[in-house]
């Protein structure tokens, strides 16, 4: 047994891993940063570690936070931290995390989304720049461009490093000063036709249970919006302010519990222009790109089904209009004040802009964002639809529909992994988030995989679970783990052998110390030992 392992007393419940999570709560831990838990046998040896020749299905979706952990298992010559070089695993992923990974993909991309905002602007020979912090770099690049990694000709990307801290509660301002400085510089440069800026603070801080830090983040963003508006007006640039989804405008459940997740609220759309243009109501994020194209005097491609939000544009439009799009991540719009940290904060700039300039609220969740009815918005879907100008069916919706119509249970990648484990006499590992609301995956997808494994006659199936309370009630992780333990008990197949907070396992800024910790949890069983019954 590894020297890093610490023993618990035997849990009283038959659902030992759920009980171990509850004990972690009692120690002051919470789901997101839960220290790794590992099931051990009577001799204290870790159960269900990933061994040479085993098969793994990483069933998370999205991918930008999943790619680093996947690389540590499948990338030849991986050198970010020490790994077991002789450990060869056969890996499948729910969706494509990165086209270079040597894995089987269950739900491959449907193809590049063509004629996005950035592509259209590029094809017309205009120049554009995108500015954000590293915390959201993939959203302003990959997702806004229709899941295309590469910049288009004439597209520049400026990524400001986010602070490297244990918690952004320590620095709610993050790197907004540097991001604002870059936005101001490019706004004042007439060679750029479109400037896209992104303030990340409200979304990032909204996932932390610290009202003081959130209040500070909201007020900082409001102040910096004012700086950008002043620069845009000075440079005679038409400015749009909007968001990708809501968060802290709905920070409390009706029972008073804190909701650290995204919301189903609309988001603001403010047109900072004094030329007499008005806005129509009833729009969605898909209407933003057509609006920008109209402001730039460019034709909307036929593939963009969204419509411009402009009503009564001025007759004498300038020959060449420049546009600045400022995406204020997580800034939802909700008139009710209960649990509304944005309404409660001091936001004189946004309040003034909403009163003085054309304003409307845009839908940013559920079906308009290509997601199942009633689901909350998220950064991926928000930026994807902002750039695409049309509704894009989400991976989650595709997977849910495949489960309903039965095609999920005939998926080639899943059958490859399960039948391969049987043929090779090895084991199957199911790795991923355990949640209902998470944009990274669903416990329903895990349940479907367990049912398929049962149907295929597998004998050894191990579940490695990640927790993260975003959009969940406090201590929801333990309830989800117990649900999975009840499922495997009912099926007579599988065992939950590992639990960890998503803070350690899902990273996108090359914090390789986190990924190494997760790797060693999976392979060596490093963590707090939980004795089985």
Q: For residue 492, how far is the Cα from the chain centroid?
A: 33
User: Which element (helix H / strand E) includes 39?
Assistant: strand 37-40
Q: Which residues contact 347 (CB under 8 A, 6 or more apart)?
A: 218, 219, 222
Which pLDDT value is given to residue 32?
Answer: 87
Sign of torsion over alpha carbons 92, 500, 448, 429: positive
- Exposed (0-12), middle (13-18) or buried (19+): which is 191, by Cβ within 10 Å? exposed
pLDDT above 50 (res 5): no
> 265: which 2 tokens?
């609220």
Ordered by where they begin, the domains of the chain are 6-108+397-531 (3.40.1450), 117-392 (3.40.720.10)
State pTM to two decimals. Answer: 0.73
Question: Tens of pLDDT along 297-339?
Answer: 999 999 999 999 999 765 555 445 899 999 999 999 999 999 9
Average pLDDT, whole number, for the chain? 92
Q: Give the residue from 428, 402, 483 showing the smallest Cα distance to 61.
A: 402
Using the predicted structure, report yes or no on whether residue 495 has a pLDDT greater than 90: yes
pLDDT at 1: 35
pLDDT band of 281, cuts 50, 70, 90? very high
Query: What number is the average pLDDT over the span 515-526?
Result: 97
The tokens describing 482, both together, are 């117990």
For 229-276, write each residue's pLDDT tens digit.
999 999 999 999 999 999 999 999 888 988 888 999 999 999 999 888
Give residue 175's pLDDT: 97
Tens digits of per-residue pLDDT, 450-463? Answer: 999 999 999 999 99
**pLDDT tens-place string over residues 115-128:** 999 999 999 999 99
């Amino acid at each position: 047994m590894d020297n890093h392992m610490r023993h618990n007393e035997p849990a009283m419940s038959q659902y030992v891993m759920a009980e171990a999570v509850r004990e972690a709560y009692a120690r002051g831990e919470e789901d997101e940063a839960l220290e790794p838990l590992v099931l051990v046998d009577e001799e204290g040896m870790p159960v269900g570690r990933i061994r040479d020749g085993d098969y793994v299905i990483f069933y998370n979706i999205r991918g930008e936070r999943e790619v680093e952990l996947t690389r540590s298992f499948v990338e030849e010559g991986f050198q970010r931290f020490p790994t077991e070089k002789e450990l060869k695993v056969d890996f499948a992923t729910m969706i494509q995390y990165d086209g270079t990974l040597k894995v089987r993909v269950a739900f491959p991309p449907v193809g590049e989304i063509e004629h996005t905002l950035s592509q259209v602007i590029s094809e017309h020979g205009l120049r554009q720049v995108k500015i954000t912090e590293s915390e959201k770099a993939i959203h302003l690049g990959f997702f806004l461009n229709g899941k295309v990694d590469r910049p288009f000709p004439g597209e520049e990307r400026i990524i400001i490093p986010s602070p490297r801290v244990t918690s952004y509660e320590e620095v709610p301002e993050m790197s907004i000063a540097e991001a604002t400085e870059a936005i101001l510089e490019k706004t004042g440069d007439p060679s750029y036709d479109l400037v896209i800026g992104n303030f990340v603070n409200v979304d990032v801080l909204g996932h932390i249970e610290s009202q003081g830090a959130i209040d500070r983040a909201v007020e900082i963003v409001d102040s910096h919006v004012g700086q950008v508006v002043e620069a845009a007006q000075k440079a005679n640039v038409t400015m749009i302010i909007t968001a990708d989804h809501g968060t802290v405008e709905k920070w409390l459940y009706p029972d008073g519990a804190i909701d650290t997740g995204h919301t189903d609220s609309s988001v603001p759309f403010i047109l900072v222009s004094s030329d007499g243009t008005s806005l129509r109501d009833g729009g969605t994020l898909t209407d933003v790109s057509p609006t920008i194209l109209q402001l730039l005097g460019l034709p909307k491609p036929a593939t963009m089904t969204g419509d411009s939000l402009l009503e009564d544009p001025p007759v004498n439009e300038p020959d060449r209009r420049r546009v600045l799009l400022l995406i204020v991540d997580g800034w939802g719009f909700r008139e009710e004040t209960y649990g509304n940290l944005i309404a409660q904060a001091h936001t004189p700039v946004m309040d003034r802009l909403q009163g003085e300039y054309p304003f409307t609220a845009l839908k940013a969740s559920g079906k308009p964002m290509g997601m199942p009815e009633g689901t909350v918005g998220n950064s991926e879907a928000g930026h994807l639809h902002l750039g695409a100008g049309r509704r894009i069916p989400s991976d989650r919706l595709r997977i849910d529909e495949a489960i309903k119509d039965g095609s999920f249970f005939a998926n080639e990648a899943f059958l490859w992994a399960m039948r391969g484990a049987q043929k090779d006499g090895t084991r199957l590992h199911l790795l991923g988030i355990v949640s209902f609301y998470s944009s990274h995956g669903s416990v329903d997808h895990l349940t479907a995989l367990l049912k398929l494994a049962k149907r295929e006659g597998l004998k050894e199936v191990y579940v490695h679970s990640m927790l993260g309370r975003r959009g969940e009630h406090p201590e929801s992780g333990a309830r989800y783990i117990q649900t999975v333990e009840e499922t495997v008990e009912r099926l007579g197949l599988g065992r939950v052998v590992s639990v960890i907070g998503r803070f350690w396992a899902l990273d996108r800024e090359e914090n390789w110390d986190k990924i190494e910790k997760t790797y060693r949890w999976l392979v060596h069983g490093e963590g707090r030992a939980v004795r089985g019954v």
